[in-house]
Structure 1
Amino acid sequence: MWRFVAVSTVALLCWTTCSAEDGALRVFAGANLTLPCPHHSEVADPLMVTWSCRGCGRGPAPVTVAQYGRDGSVSRSDGRVRLVLPTFQLHIYPASTQDAGVYVCSVNNAPSAESITVTVEDVPRAPQRPLVVSFTSRSAELSWAPLYSQTGASALRYLLQKRRYDPPAPWDLQHEITIPDNRTTFNVTGLKPFTAYSFRIFSVNKVGRSLASEPSYPMVTHREPPSGKPTVVKTFSPTADTIEVIWRPPDRSEMNGEFIGHVIAYRPRDLDGAEWTTIDLPGNVNETTSYIIEDLTPYTEYLIRVGIKNMVGLGPYAVVRETTLEGVPDRPENLTSRCIPTAS
């Protein structure tokens, strides 16, 4: 004769991954789900125990989850399910949302008025692909739509990640943005001008985070005037009326747009009211990195400025000073002569 001892409450089988009330059990997806057979304390051979579930992600009709036959055989609905003998507890691991439903344990096909309602809490579904609805040179406004699951797992908040798209870069995990409520729009700030970005969103509830959404389609922030200036490497005067300037362009990240040329401006240092003479040097950013300024005044100190420009405007100048070499003195003009008598 089998002796079957029933557990009087579901709470005895619930640990940190679930919560229990009379006739109900709430468990997290991925946890152990163990149910007692809340029935008679003693049954006689021949014995047949059947666990059935109504709901359980398989339709509204009850389905057999596990069964112990009179010949001692055990049948199961899938590999996650097993019967713990001799108590006939139903053990499911790992639990999934399809295991949510109303469970009944019957002995020898006898009707049972007792049941256990199981709710499986899971992470929410990933939201839909975020859309960039507007942007500036340093920000982007995003919008997305949540996807709801049949279990009702909804997002309590969202997480946002970004990455540079060109040149390709990994997702920026260190600067992940937490959106503190379940709103579905957000303005991302702190972006760089004229830079391609992509964004993705995670849904989060008390169970955990969802998979990542599909990344947004790439976008490029607006241009700004260059924020960097060239580094002047060397200046010298090859001749009395020329000065050569050699420089290194700023980093690409400081150009903030398509490079269209360098600009050199100069004037005598001591003539405060003098106008700057400006020279535009179009071309590739790395092709032109030196220039000889001609037709200068010998032995004169000049202020020289070097900058870059893009399609939006001109960036800050690098300013240096250099003095032309001394030249050959000019020929004297308007000479006069006179006789000086000698002493006798």
Structure 2
Amino acid sequence: MLIPCVSVGAAGSTVTQKKGENVTLNCPQVQEDESLATTIWYKDDIMKVSMGQSGGTQYTEPSLESKFAVEQDSSLVLMRLDPGDSGNYTCKVFVVNSTGVMDNNSTTWIVLVQDVPSPPGEARIVDTQSRQVKVEWSPSDSDNNSPISNYVVLISECQTGNNKREIVVGESTHQVTITNLEPYTCYQVHVRATNDVGRSLPGPPTSQFYTESESVTAIVDQAGGSCASDTCRDSFLVCEGSVCKYKTGVDCSNGNEHCQSGTACESSSNMICKIQLTEDCSSNPTECGEGLKCDTTSNTCKPTCLGFTLHV
């Protein structure tokens, strides 16, 4: 794999490079009436490598040979940059002028190595409800020389990891409410930070947690449960007087006292909610109770006798 290498020309400037790249830093030029004696490179005022007049290179630490290389023109190549390579690099060139006097010139470079941000702090649960959770976290300790643009909050179900979702918030936001969750379901949350280089590693996740169970006044899936106007879960229920009741024509064998008003659970009809005498049957003309028939004139259930409708 080719590693990008950048050579910088203007002496004494700031150099910004991404992790993994190479960069070449130049030294002061030797004038025509001067002869090069020694070149020394410093990082943060600590000597790292030197090159004598003969071109031999000496490192202060053996491990630096895989990081630094000095070219014949005394320029320094920093290889496979890492955030720890950020710092001030000074090249000091010792020369002998035409009169035989030793002199020196120096140039300092500020090197900034960019990387993804450090992971955010541990994600913490602030508040849990049946269908939402509030999460907070601490910001990343370092943006690694590239400003953080946003935080990405990731939530998924425990163990299976199903239903993964991402919520993106601004760089100054460290708390978010995640909605549209399932009641009494196990979730886990972690957070990543993003800059121009990419996403950080995830910060420490929350402990696994369960959303709250749904309250009886929220979603009701059986007759007899308390309800608001639109919170009976199933299509065979209707909210009547703050109680979910079975609609006409529904099997009521498991709750015969819960048929909606104007109907009754009839054993002769295999425990089905049937419309009773004089009740409106216009929407369900075939659902009148035993011995009743929907009178098309009044649209109410009327008793039948010997095949004739008795008008009462």
Partner of 1:246: none
Relative contact order (alpha carbons < 8 A, sep ≥ 6): 1 or 2 greater? 1
Partner of 1:303: 272
Give the secondary-structure state (helix, strand or coil) at the position aligned to 1:98.
Answer: helix
Partner of 2:19: 29
Alignment of 1:75 onto 2:58: yes
Displacement of 1:143 after TM fit? 0.8
Tell me which stretches of 4 or more aligned residues in structure 1 moved more than 4 Å: 19-22, 150-154, 225-230, 274-277
Higher mean alpha-carbon deviation, 129-138 vs 73-82, is at 73-82
Tell me if the contact between 1:39 and 1:106 (Cα under 8 Å) persists in the aligned partners. no
Partner of 2:305: none
Tell me if the contact between 1:136 and 1:222 (Cα under 8 Å) persists in the aligned partners. yes
1:116-172 CA distances to partner (integer Å, 9 max, x unpaired)? 22222332211111111002111111111113239665532101111111xx12376
Q: Which amino acid aligns with 1:91?
A: V
Structure 1 residues without counterparts, runs of 5 or longer: 1-11, 55-61, 231-249, 251-262, 278-295, 305-320, 325-344
Alignment of 1:1-344 (within 5 A): 13-14=7-8, 23-41=13-31, 44=35, 47-54=37-44, 62-70=45-53, 72-76=55-59, 77=61, 78-108=64-94, 111-149=104-142, 155-165=148-158, 168-170=159-161, 175-224=165-214, 264-266=254-256, 273-276=262-265, 296-297=267-268, 300=269, 302-303=271-272
Aligned pairs, number: 230
Question: 1:150 and 1:229 mapped to 2: Cα distance?
Answer: 50
Higher mean alpha-carbon deviation, 119-128 vs 106-115, is at 106-115
Q: How much identity, in percent, do the aligned residues show?
A: 21
1:54-98 CA distances to partner (integer Å, 9 max, x unpaired)? 1xxxxxxx2223222455432345244232532232111221222
Q: Which amino acid aligns with 1:209?
A: R
Question: 2:68 and 2:135 mapped to 1: Cα distance?
Answer: 47
Question: 1:20 and 1:163 mapped to 2: Cα distance?
Answer: 50
Tell me if the contact between 1:80 and 1:92 (Cα under 8 Å) persists in the aligned partners. no
Give the secondary-structure state (helix, strand or coil) at the position aligned to 1:118.
Answer: strand
Question: 1:34 and 1:122 mapped to 2: Cα distance?
Answer: 19
Normalization by structure 2: what TM-score?
A: 0.61
Tell me if the contact between 2:146 and 2:196 (Cα under 8 Å) persists in the aligned partners. no
Give the secondary-structure state (helix, strand or coil) at the position aligned to 2:213.
Answer: coil
Give the secondary-structure state (helix, strand or coil) at the position aligned to 1:142.
Answer: strand
Displacement of 1:20 after TM fit? 7.6
Give the secondary-structure state (helix, strand or coil) at the position aligned to 1:112.
Answer: strand
Q: Describe the shift of the 1:169–1:272 C-alpha distance in structure 2 as closer, same or farther (beyond 3 A).
A: closer
Q: Which amino acid aligns with 2:272?
A: L
Q: Describe the shift of the 1:95–1:83 C-alpha distance in structure 2 as closer, same or farther (beyond 3 A).
A: same
Tell me if the contact between 2:11 and 2:108 (Cα under 8 Å) persists in the aligned partners. no
Question: 1:205 and 1:159 mapped to 2: Cα distance?
Answer: 11
Tell me if the contact between 2:153 and 2:168 (Cα under 8 Å) persists in the aligned partners. yes
Question: 1:229 and 1:188 mapped to 2: Cα distance?
Answer: 25
Normalization by structure 1: what TM-score?
A: 0.56
Give the secondary-structure state (helix, strand or coil) at the position aligned to 2:28.
Answer: coil
Question: 1:107 and 1:21 mapped to 2: Cα distance?
Answer: 14
Question: 1:192 and 1:21 mapped to 2: Cα distance?
Answer: 60
Tell me if the contact between 2:39 and 2:93 (Cα under 8 Å) persists in the aligned partners. yes
Question: 2:191 and 2:11 mapped to 1: Cα distance?
Answer: 35
